[in-house]
Structure formats: structure tokens, C-alpha cells
Amino acid sequence: MKRVAIILPTYNESKNIEKLIGEIFNQQKKLKNWQLHVLVVDSNSPDGTSNLVKKTQSRYDNLHLLKTEKEGLGKAYIAGFTYVVNHLSPTVIFEMDADFSHSPSDIPFFLKEIEKGSDFVIGARYIKGGSIPKDWALHRKMFSIFGNLIVRFGLMKLSVTDWTSGFRAIKTWIVKDIAPQLSEYSGYVFQVALLDKAIKKGAKVAEIPIHFLDRKHGVSKINSFQYIIQTLFYVLTKSSFIKYVVVGLTGAVLDFGISYFLIEKLHWYLWIATLLSAECAIISNFLFNNFWSFSHKKIDSKFSLYVNKFLKFNTISAGALGIQAGGIELAGFLFGRKYWYIYKVLIIAFVIIPYSYILYNKVVWKEKK
């Protein structure tokens, strides 16, 4: 029978923890192939949470307690990951809130997705069948929705709808591989970093709908404003898409500089100048994207593979060149040569960037499997 370790980080959850543990273990009768273990990671709660867990251990052999200092959600999970990997050797590790925001009755549905082949299952609030509390204050709804939008579009991983959900089932190989890289994230942005790095490692991600419930006892520990700031900082510094855009802008400066010289100073034909300047930018973009934007899946093995990928990059870019050269020549014919630079900006921004980003990811820098 395969083991499941459910990690519950706690701080002042004495009014919730005992009942929650009981409801989690009640799910065992629904699980034929899985053995449930629960680890409570208590951050030195002054309300006696850990003492209640110790008393409850007499009723459940698979209930474990780890006491830590109060250092934030991320640190609590890393401590929990280390404990369950070293002492329990589970196949799957759950992240779950200890305040009844997450329903224990959903646990079997997570494991069904794992059995279907998923590596990382998210309890999603923003897909069909999921929900957030209707009586949430407007500012709380806005923080939750806005935080997710920042991550989805900033990282350009639109297939995942709920990046900030704290209810997750994760295969242990992901935790072993990624946990050492997460020590710098102590707060709630830890959840974003964990999922982002899992996707970059090639994890197969699935979402199931959950009804997120508001706590009945105790107070929320999240500082919404601080969380948004931390999330913004993470996206700005870690997003492959944003790095790609920066590289693209650098290439555009190079492209424009060469175009300006050839068109304004040497009076070359628009299409010839465009082809030459764009090819110089393509070479620059390939190098910077490989060693910076997509460094997590960098091409650095065999020289023959590097050349092969570079040729694919150029083949895809040839399409961009054709679109750009044809578009600028057509615009010049229709609206006059004088505003060539405006045509160039519009074509690059609305056609070339999305075209290139999608195909480079699909063909040149595929996700590692």
C-alpha cells in the first residue's frame, strides 16, 4: 500500500486541529490503495496547538508532530517536506490548510488524479465547480483574483488557473528535486515558486475543483499587500516570458539601429534592410534566450544538438522575417514610406513576439520531461 503524507502547518489552530485530524483520517476508509499519514508542523503556537496534537496521537498511529519556530509558511513546509521524505517515504505529499478552508472529503479526488498519471494536482477555486466564499470582502476577492492574474500572465502559464491555492497533492520526486531551491521563500509566495519550478521540471499538472471555505475559528495569517508585492517581485525576477521580452526589446534596439543606418543613411530597399537587421537581432536573441530566458532548459549538451536547435530557431525566425518584411513593405506601399518605424513597432509587438514565443517554446526549448 502506497503512503500519503498530509502536511498541516499550524499557528494558533487549537480550535480547529483536533477535529480536522479526525476528519482527515476518516477518509482512509475510502482509500483502498493508499495509507494516510498526517504531519502537523506547529510553529511554536502559544495557544497549545501542539499539546492537543500530542494528546490526539494516542488515537492515531499515523499522526506525527514536528515543532518549529515561527518563520513563515514556506519554512514550515520545507521542514515538513524534509521530515516526511526522511521518515515516512511517501509516494504523494499533500499541502493543506489547518483551518478547514480545505475539505478533507476532497482528498480521494486528488489521489484519483494522481492515479491517472498527474504529478502535481491543484485544488482550484477558479474553474467550473470551484468557488470562493460569497461573503468575502471585495478587497479580499480582488487580492486573490489579482494575485492569480499576475502569476498566470507574468509567467505565461495560462493552463494553470489557481497558482495561489494551498490545497495540493504532489508526487515526492518533485519535492525531493525542488525543495532545496525553495529555502529563500518564507511566506505565501512559496506556493507560487514551488509550482513554477515543478512545471519547469516537466511535472504533469492537473486541477480539480474545490470549494474554498472561510475559517470559522481563529484569524488568517496572510498579509495580502505583502503577498502581492512578493508575488510581483517573484514574477519580475523569475519569469521566462518577461526575460524573453527583455531580450526581445534588446534585439529590437539592435534591429532598429541597423535598419536606421541602412535605410536612412545608405538608402537601401526597405525589405533588404529589414532582412539583414532582423537576422542580426535573431542571432543575438538566440544566444541571450538560451543562456538567460530559458536557462532552466538550456541547450548545452552536444554541439550537433546546439547547431540543430539553432537551425530550427532560424527556420522559425524566417517566418517572422517574412511576416515582418512583407508587412512593412505592404504598409509602406499603402500608407507611405515615411512612417516605416511605426509599422515596424506594430508588427513586432502584435505579431512577431507572440508568434516567436509560442514556437520557440514548442520547438526549440521544449519543457524537460
pLDDT tier, 35 (very low <50, low <70, confident <90, very high otherwise): very high
How far is the C-alpha of 209 from the C-alpha of 131, rounded, in Å?
A: 8
pLDDT tier, 80 (very low <50, low <70, confident <90, very high otherwise): very high
Residues whose CB falls within 8 Å of the CB of residue 256, separated by 6 or more in sequence, listed in order: 277, 341, 344
The arithmetic mean of pLDDT across residues 65-86, rounded, is 95
pLDDT at site 369: 53
pLDDT at site 92: 99
- Is pLDDT of 252 > 80? yes
Which of 46-60, 146-160, 298-312 is predicted least confidently? 298-312
Residues whose CB falls within 8 Å of the CB of residue 303, separated by 6 or more in sequence, listed in order: none
The CATH code for residues 2-236 is 3.90.550.10
pLDDT at site 17: 95
Every domain of the chain with CATH number 3.90.550.10 lies at 2-236
pLDDT at site 220: 63
Residue closest to 213 by CA, chosen among 97, 128, 136, 102: 102
Question: What cell was used for 220?
Answer: 488568517
Residue with cell 529590437: 252
pLDDT at site 306: 82
Taking CA 124 as the corner, what is the angle to CA 95 and CA 235, rounded to the nearest 5 degrees?
A: 80
Which of 51-65, 82-96, 143-157 is predicted least confidently? 143-157
How far is the C-alpha of 196 from the C-alpha of 201, rounded, in Å?
A: 9
How far is the C-alpha of 278 from the C-alpha of 317, rounded, in Å?
A: 9
SS3 170: strand
Spell out the alpha helix ranges (H) of the chain.
Answer: 17-25, 49-56, 73-87, 107-115, 138-155, 172-178, 189-200, 224-238, 240-260, 270-288, 303-335, 340-347, 353-359
- For residue range 341-356, list pLDDT tens digits in order: 899 889 988 888 888 8
The arithmetic mean of pLDDT across residues 32-53, rounded, is 96
Residues whose CB falls within 8 Å of the CB of residue 178, separated by 6 or more in sequence, listed in order: 194, 197, 198, 201
pTM: 0.79
The per-residue b/e assignment along 208-242, b for 16 or more CB within 10 angstroms, e otherwise, is bbbebeebeebeebbebeebbebbeebbeebbbbb
pLDDT at site 227: 74
Residues whose CB falls within 8 Å of the CB of residue 283, separated by 6 or more in sequence, listed in order: none
- For residue range 255-291, list pLDDT tens digits in order: 899 999 999 989 888 889 988 998 898 889 899 999 8
Residues whose CB falls within 8 Å of the CB of residue 138, separated by 6 or more in sequence, listed in order: none
Spell out the alpha helix ranges (H) of 289-352.
Answer: 303-335, 340-347
Residues whose CB falls within 8 Å of the CB of residue 131, separated by 6 or more in sequence, listed in order: 125, 211, 212
- For residue range 89-98, list pLDDT tens digits in order: 999 999 999 9
- Is pLDDT of 225 > 80? no
Helix or strand run (H / E) with residue 123: strand 120-124
- Is pLDDT of 296 > 90? no
